[in-house]
Amino acid sequence: MSILNINPSSLYDGSSSCLSHARIDTKTGLVFVSGQVDWDSNCEVKSIGVGAQAESAMQNLLTVLDEAGSSVENLLQLRIYVRGEVSEHLGEIAPVLSKYLGTTRPAITGVGVTSLASPETLIEIEAVAKTLL
């Protein structure tokens, strides 16, 4: 099995935390995307509010998928971690998902959590996709 690490230069550098933005199993073509958040290059949150952070996390997800030779159409699964009760934030999250996913309907799990990577981080989106590489 051959593994490729995917780390777009336009996203924050996760090497100090021992992470890659994604890993591809070249034998199966599966892309495992680390949780994407609303961070700048200094690992600081850029936006206030779940909706704005979801927008940024989805943009980062698209960047990773593109660099991995994949796309939204090849998404198999999304896991969305939200600080607090998921149902309280669906009104902000659903329009963002609709905007980016279009007619793609990956399996989606929403999980309410008490903490994420930083106190200011409100949402984190991880994914599994297929690659065309």
**Tens digits of per-residue pLDDT, 85-126?**
999 999 999 999 999 999 999 999 999 999 998 999 999 999
CB within 8 Å of 38: residues ≥ 6 apart: 45, 46, 47, 52, 53, 55, 56, 57, 60, 121, 122, 123
State the fold for domain 3-130. Answer: 60s Ribosomal Protein L30; Chain: A; (3.30.1330)
Domain ranges for the chain, please list them: 3-130
Name the 3-class secondary structure at 45: strand
**Beta carbons of 96 and 54 less than 8 angstroms apart:** yes
Angle formed at CA 122 by CA 24 and CA 96, multiple of 5 degrees: 70
Query: Residue range 70-89: average pLDDT?
Result: 97
- Full-model pTM: 0.93
